[in-house]
Amino acid sequence: MDLDEVASVGGFFALRTGEPGEGHMPLARLYAGDTAPLTARVDTVAARLGTPERRVAASVAHLGFAARLWSVALGCAALHGELPDLDPTRLHWDPRLSAPDDLCLTATRTVPAAAATVREVVQYGHLVPLADALTGDTRISRQLLWGNAGSALAGAVRELRAWAGRGGRTDVAERASALAAGLFAHPDLSGTVEGPAMRRRTCCLYYRCPGGGLCGDCVFDRPPQHGSMR
């Protein structure tokens, strides 16, 4: 599995391996209840966005994290027919850093690429316990978080299709689309995006930030009044 080739799709597809840096922590520790680094990450995002609403910062932080996980797994699966086992005990995270330096995998055991395997590695292995940690830290709905997960998955598929189109790799585009179809069949992700453009059906709340607008796949056509809770 050529991680450098996968990284060439985009920064979110890159994965460091080897010895983690001083600020990295195994994600298993966060999922087990040591959520102080997650709280710090949400605080950092809130400061960068200039938003006083903690749930907005939590949503944006979650969306970025979900995009990292889907991109790494789906990119490897679509390009090479296998993906790294992103076991939370071996996948380390530094909340102070952005992609590609935020994640580091200490061992690169691989598993076969199939929708069920990607779901086990990313959805069950990370997104479910991450949602538990976030909802325990911040008042944010799980429906919004699954909407973020669906949007992040759709974004990874779009990036892979674009990369495949530039390089004439129709096989990669076809595998990415087939894997995504299997993943979106799960009840938690089903209906989170719709149509050929994979437009999301919920909002990540970015529009509520000072100067914030709508994301490219937003459910809204124009920013709603701030009273909206969707």
Integer-rounded Cα Rg, in Å, for the chain is: 17
pLDDT tens for 14-66 read: 999 999 988 999 999 999 999 999 999 999 999 999 999 999 999 999 999 99
What confidence category does residue 226 fall into, taking pLDDT thresholds of 50, 70 and 90?
low
Higher model confidence: residue 122 or residue 200?
Answer: 122
Q: Are strands 110-112 and 82-84 parallel, antiparallel or unpaired?
A: antiparallel
What are the tens digits of pLDDT across the range 114-145? 999 999 999 999 999 999 999 988 889 999 99
Q: What is the pLDDT of residues 62-94, one digit of tens each?
A: 999 999 999 999 999 999 999 999 999 999 999
**Torsion-angle region of residue 205: left (phi > 0), alpha (psi -120 to 50) or beta?**
left
Question: From edge to edge, which strands make up the β-sheet containing 91-93?
Answer: 16-17, 103-105, 91-93, 25-26
Residue 108 has pLDDT above 90, yes or no: no
Q: Across the chain, where does the E strand assignment appear?
A: 16-17, 25-26, 82-84, 91-93, 103-105, 110-112, 193-194, 199-200
What integer is the mean pLDDT of 92-102?
A: 91
What span, in angstroms and rounded, lies between the C-alpha atoms of 58 and 229? 15
